[in-house]
Amino acid sequence: MNPAENPFLSPSDLPYGLPPFQRIREEHYVPAFEQGMAEHLAEVAAIADNPERPTFENTIEALERAGALLDRVSAVFFNRASSDTTPGIQKIQQDVTPRLAKHADAVHLNAKLFARIRAVEAGGEEERWLLDRYLTDFTRAGALLDAADQERLRGLNERLSELATTFQQNLLADTNDRAVVVDEAAELDGLTEDAVRGLAETARERGLDGKHVITLVLPTGQPSLASLTDRSLRERVHTASIGRGAANAELIREMALLRRERARLLGYADHAEYVLADQTAGTTGAVTEMLAKLVPPAVANARREQAELEELAGHAVRPWDWAFYAEKAREARYDIDGARLRPYFELNAVLEKGVFYAATRLYGITFTERKDLAGYHPDVRVFEVFDSGGAPLGLFLGDFHARASKRGGAWMNSLVRQSALEGARPVVVNNLNIVKGEPTLMTFDEVNTMFHEFGHALHALFSDVRFPRFSGTAVPRDFVEYPSQVNEMWATHPEILANYAKHYETGEPMPQELVDRLLESQKFNQGFATVEYLAATLLDWAWHTEYSGEDPAAFETKALADVGVDLPAVPPRYRSTYFSHIWAGGYSAGYYSYIWSEVLDADTVEWFNENGGLLRENGDRFRRELLSKGGSVDPMAAFRAFRGRDPEITPLLARRGLL
């Protein structure tokens, strides 16, 4: 294959190794994957067969350098499959995903290679940690199993990868298909004019001129439910949301059973125990204990909130009513409503005068838009990031708008990983799902999400490690959300909020009385928020500790009832059939990590507040001790180096009103 014909076959010559998106076509992916896997296996074989004595350099470091082509095509393809898929991309994904699982097994189950790794002696601290991670990775991948068990493991991994891909594609199709079509604009009473225009534009894009289309976001709760006055339309939207993924019921039944079988093959009682063995929580007991502490006060709070809402509504509150009456209660209590806030949250202002400004104030970094560099979609904006002294740091790509080709939710991907070994600087992308408008006005939840995802981006941009294996967010799943959750604190910091929260038409700052009420309202409805999250977390936990083949819908109902979170008016943030995090997103038996990380986050926010808040020396400390380390040190050791002690749960309990 000619490198001139396939841009993946040679390193990009664009700044920072940005993939040459304008040259990439769908027909390039499969040949690049195939050659990438072949090259990687050849490199692995050369390492395994090396007649020289195993050393860190000729074994571990050599493995870190191997697979460059496969890394390049994988980073681009899987971001594209999530952000801007097509029928062609989906077909490639179905074909290549099980082949990649098979390829990973071919590496991890190479007996000669594993024997060589076990014979290596490492020198420095980072080298010793990397060797330990390789030994752990290979052992957890089945390197110590006998030949028969390894063969069964290969089959399990291949089938699970097929099922995860099918789940994701089913969900995307069903989410698009279940978008709610509204015939009469009058039914949309309660929405702002710009929101109604956005729904009309979505309808036009779907060939439904004259109508309006309410698309669905990934969680159960849909943003429009807080504003729509038409109760029957609210019910239609909610019903569409919770009905997603019916075709996935049998898939998740099979996935749960296969995961349990794989865990037992590897010597664990269940999939949760397998996952937790390599997380900061350490044991399933630690997670169970934490969740048990949170459920009773959270449910009690939610029941109190429900009673208040029903008094306001004058009738029983159903799931499609909660957000609407909660917004009414918020307005009554704090004299604040979402429609009044949105004009102060224009997307470009939030990004540049909020998210970027906070990073400049805290870390000294600056941003320059590079309109000469193309993203993978016309919506994608490319920014060059410079360090405090003006040195180039990396590239940040922002892909903020919703579209039918993008999966729901918000996330960060690394397109190029920082590593001193390869002389690579980071290229990272944030994906959100904000409906495009003229202008694009955001809810405060969307503002918070933008700050959150940029926290992940900072984790990658500040990475200062030698080895690719440790780059950026390559940390345990129950630690990865911690830095991003900390970054949310700057969304409401007085100086930052004052800089970006200005009316998109007049430029007038948000009135201080409105700011005050916004801040006061942040603890409002925390019973609901905590219970909907815990319900999803406990579903994930039940699927991966208790499931033994029951009907998925019946199992879900019983699992929630058994732990006392079966509040009909508060559905889980994700029901099982559209719980993409745990079936296709890497969070299986790990959705608890958001609240586990929030313990660290709340404690860290308290540290910032105790030490002067938005100061360069505080940002520099957080960057030096934690963000720059990636996975190169034990994550809890990094936390202790920053905080000076182990984390405490009290700040989290206070934040969520659970004391």
String of DSSP letters for 435-490: PP-SS-B--HHHHHHHHHHHHHHHHHHT---SSGGG-TT-S-HHHHHHHHHHHGGG
Pick the closest to residue 276 from 286, 264, 289, 262 (CA basis): 286
DSSP class of residue 59 equals I
Consecutive H or E run containing 385: strand 381-386
Residue 431, classed as helix, strand or coil, is: strand
| 3-class secondary structure per residue, 318-383 | CHHHHHHHHHHHHHHHHCCCHHHHHHHCEHHHHHHHHHHHHHHHHHCCEEEECCCCCCCCCCCEEE
**Considering 453, 481, 556, 625, which one is annotated as catalytic?**
453
Question: Is residue 495 flagged as an active site residue?
Answer: no
Q: Give DSSP secondary structure letters for 523-573.
A: GTTHHHHHHHHHHHHHHHHHHTTT-SS--HHHHHHHHHHHTT---TTS--S
Question: How many other CB atoms are found less than 10 A from the CB of residue 375?
Answer: 19
Length in residues, the chain? 659
List Cα–Cα distances, 23 to 89, 278, 375, 581, in angstroms: 16, 40, 11, 32
Q: Which one, of 653, 623, 602, lies nearest residue 293 by Cα?
A: 653
CA-CA distance, 555 to 592, in Å (whole number)? 19
Sheet holding 366-369, edge to edge: 366-369, 381-386, 392-401, 427-434, 411-416
Is residue 646 exposed (0-12), middle (13-18) or buried (19+ Cβ within 10 Å)?
exposed
Q: Which residues are part of the catalytic machinery?
A: 453
